[in-house]
Chains A and B, each alone.
Chain A
Amino acid sequence: MKKILNGIVAVGILASSTAIAGETINGAGATFPYPVYSAWAYQYYKETGVKLNYQSIGSGGGIRQIRNRTVDFGASDAPLPPKKLDEYRLYQFPAIIGGVVPVVNIPGVKAGQLKLDADALCHIYLGEIKYWDNSHLKELNPNLRLPHKKITVVHRSDGSGTTAIFTHYLSDACPQWKEKVGAGKAVNWPVGIGGKGNEGVANYVKRLKYSIGYVEFAYAKQNRLAYTLLKNKAGNFVAPSIETFKSAGATANFDPKKHFYLWMVNAPGKNAWPIAGASFILEAREKKEADKKVNKFFKWAFENGDEIAIKLDYVPLPKELKEKIYKYWKENGIYPEE
């Protein structure tokens, strides 16, 4: 008798707990913003009881899932052009900004000491600048003692949004790169070894002397890698930091009419970091009610999630961009009502 009673109580508790659980929003896609989305989701759940279930299966997977409408929103590091958005019937807007940072391992050179420009980076990754004491590099760095050692180039072995941002920067700033290699999540690298993930590249650069690689800013900071200064479009040498990334976000021209399709590289600001990119959210056009629920979460994140993002080394969107996004939602009927 006692056992049966216990059983009924247990089942009752289980049943009621699922009733209290509340609704769930499902999303899938890019791995780059996963840490900040899950941090936001945790806070959002504590405040509203709505769960966010995000699967970081990669941008390609995210795009495929939202095309098949198996999730409420998709996340992609690479923005889709307006033609594709019309074809797949999707809305698109940015959610978070990140910076890609070149890192080097040259004994004696500390973080923020080496100065590079687009030309130098481009020719290093094309394999045309082979030694660290190349004349162009010495010109940019008259005060550094650069050794006569071969440059070991490190890139990504897997497809990634980080590579997409980096190669778009190289294509934009360097016509030779655009012609020979092009931009994309995975490219036909002329030289170098491939590391798996940001962690892989960081690991190689840390281990291999006289190497150069590119990683998301968070990885450069956490692994204490020697990042370089870069010459931006305005002609100034800037260091990677939240301020220079924010400056890139503020001066980049996001156009709601083009569904915010923009590669944020080479932003024109005086203080802008030249290799920055946004991560985007994709929503189905015909599911306005579901979109409103998703946008409720992102509106909450835009209003309350800035510190969380900065603590995780991400860059929150500038205020003007957030206003543009709210207007975009209102115009398309997916603005979350209170």
Chain B
Amino acid sequence: MKKLKKLPFQDIFFGIIAFSASFLVLSLIFSTVLVLYNESSLAIHRFGIINFILTEEWDPVREIFGAAASLYGTLVTTVLSLLFAIPIAIGIAIFLAEVSPHLLKTPIGIAIEMLAAIPSIIYGMWGLFTLAPIMGNYIEPALQNTLGKIPVIGKLFEGTPTGIDLLTASLVLSIMIIPFIASIARDSLNLTPNIMKESAYALGATKWDVVKDIMIPYAKLGIYGGIVLALGRALGETMAVAFVLGNNHQITLSLLDAAATITVTLANEFTEADSDIYLSSLFYLALILFVLSFVILAIAKFFLLKAERGYSR
């Protein structure tokens, strides 16, 4: 009898704690947006919304600021890094799920997951001291001499190859996000019911047929989820990119040119920003990044939900 009487109170109490925790998280997000908007109001009033997003110039001396160059860099590095990372990560996942000998599965799996544990500033330092010289001295000149000679694609490889550019930054970023896609994809692939695989083999399918037509369609949702996670990570990554991108506020077609992303701009210029409009413009950039990430992840989630519903018909 005593226990029955206590139960409702404990339930109510626990319910209150759970509710407060979720409310706290929501209010933190809301207050972040509020602070960002408050601090950037000076810049919003001076530069407007469309004008700020389309202005390439970033001149702290003349106090003319625009987000176009940083936005371009953010989008290009994110897209490029995903382009490099997705095929490699799915390849790793297929290898670990189907091809690899049983003994190798655990060590390689752990090694991939270790990649995710490396702090991003270490990636930045490795990129600066190891990858950038290799890119600048060997790989980029080679690219210039081969792909650079083709008429239209050649425009992507113009300029002096210094190793400090969009290409190197995207490479470093792609190495960082591979483990996210690879682990989730491998786990999803492993979830394919054995009976489906065995039925396919019984009908005479090869290993590649099974992977292509049975396992990947089954794991599609998981792989998308991993890609969305990696996308979010790539959008917000700062330190890995800051050392090898050069922070040049320019929109350039060539991948061998230095550029800027929103996160790199903020990391480099926030502490020394002295004028109020400069600081306000940096907050404005941060607000744009916040909204951008929110919108992109919302779109991705929407497609995920649509695919989920379509699948479970």
Within 8 A of B (CB), among A162-194: 181-189, 192-194
Please, which residue of chain A has its CB at the minimum distance from the CB of B239? A196
Docked pose: A54 CA to B36 CA in angstroms: 28
Docked pose: A184 CA to B277 CA in angstroms: 14
Please, which residue of chain A has its CB at the minimum distance from the CB of B265? A157
Most A C-beta atoms less than 10 A away, residue of B128, B160, B163, B247 = B247
Instruction: Please tell me if A207 contacts chain B, counting CB pairs below 8 Å.
Output: yes
* Nearest chain A CB to B280 CB, angstrom units: 13
Instruction: Please tell me if A114 contacts chain B, counting CB pairs below 8 Å.
Output: no
Docked pose: A204 CA to B246 CA in angstroms: 10
* A60-B274, A193-B258 known; A159-B269 Cβ under 8 A: yes
Count residues on chain A whose CB falls below 8 Å from chain B CBs: 33
Docked pose: A57 CA to B273 CA in angstroms: 11
Please, which residue of chain B has its CB at the minimum distance from the CB of A183? B61
CB contacts (< 8 Å) of B258 on chain A: these are 193-194
**Contact with A61, one of B243, B248, B264, B271 (Cβ below 8 angstroms):** B271
Instruction: Please tell me if B186 contacts chain A, counting CB pairs below 8 Å.
Output: no
Contact (Cβ within 8 A) A189 B248? yes
Contact (Cβ within 8 A) A196 B162? no
Docked pose: A203 CA to B136 CA in angstroms: 14
Instruction: Please tell me if A271 contacts chain B, counting CB pairs below 8 Å.
Output: no
* A157-B268, A208-B136, A208-B162 known; A188-B247 Cβ under 8 A: no
**Contact with B248, one of A158, A159, A193, A204 (Cβ below 8 angstroms):** A193
| Proximity string of chain A (240-254) to chain B, C-beta cutoff 8 Å, 1 when within and 0 when not | 000000000000000
Contact (Cβ within 8 A) B269 A158? yes
* Nearest chain B CB to A191 CB, angstrom units: 9
Docked pose: A78 CA to B267 CA in angstroms: 20
Contact (Cβ within 8 A) B62 A152? no
Please, which residue of chain A has its CB at the minimum distance from the CB of B57? A188
Contact (Cβ within 8 A) B246 A188? no
Count residues on chain B whose CB falls below 8 Å from chain A CBs: 32
Instruction: Please tell me if B242 contacts chain A, counting CB pairs below 8 Å.
Output: yes
Docked pose: A18 CA to B258 CA in angstroms: 51
| Proximity string of chain B (109-145) to chain A, C-beta cutoff 8 Å, 1 when within and 0 when not | 0000000000000000000110011001000000000
* Nearest chain B CB to A209 CB, angstrom units: 10
Contact (Cβ within 8 A) A187 B243? no
Please, which residue of chain A has its CB at the minimum distance from the CB of B165? A193
* A196-B242, A203-B128 known; A185-B160 Cβ under 8 A: no
* Nearest chain A CB to B160 CB, angstrom units: 6
| Proximity string of chain B (249-287) to chain A, C-beta cutoff 8 Å, 1 when within and 0 when not | 100000000100000100111011110000100000000
* A196-B242, A207-B133 known; A185-B272 Cβ under 8 A: yes
Contact (Cβ within 8 A) B246 A160? no
* A158-B247, A159-B268 known; A182-B61 Cβ under 8 A: yes
Instruction: Please tell me if A266 contacts chain B, counting CB pairs below 8 Å.
Output: no
Docked pose: A88 CA to B272 CA in angstroms: 18
Contact (Cβ within 8 A) A182 B62? yes
Instruction: Please tell me if B58 contacts chain A, counting CB pairs below 8 Å.
Output: yes
Docked pose: A207 CA to B130 CA in angstroms: 11
Docked pose: A161 CA to B271 CA in angstroms: 12
* Nearest chain B CB to A193 CB, angstrom units: 4
Please, which residue of chain B has its CB at the minimum distance from the CB of A181? B61
| Proximity string of chain B (164-183) to chain A, C-beta cutoff 8 Å, 1 when within and 0 when not | 10000000000000000000
Docked pose: A195 CA to B128 CA in angstroms: 10
Instruction: Please tell me if B213 contacts chain A, counting CB pairs below 8 Å.
Output: no
Please, which residue of chain A has its CB at the minimum distance from the CB of B62? A182
Q: A-B pairs with the 10 shortest C-beta distances?
A: A159-B272, A58-B271, A157-B247, A182-B61, A158-B268, A188-B59, A193-B246, A194-B247, A184-B61, A193-B258
B residues lining the A interface (CB < 8 Å): 57-62, 128-129, 132-133, 136, 160, 162-164, 242-243, 245-249, 258, 264, 267-269, 271-274, 279
Show 23 residue pairs from A and B whose CB-CB distance is below 8 angstroms, ordered by the A residue.
Answer: A157-B245, A157-B247, A157-B248, A157-B268, A158-B267, A158-B272, A182-B61, A182-B62, A183-B61, A184-B61, A185-B60, A185-B274, A187-B61, A188-B58, A188-B59, A188-B62, A189-B248, A193-B162, A193-B258, A194-B247, A195-B246, A196-B243, A204-B162
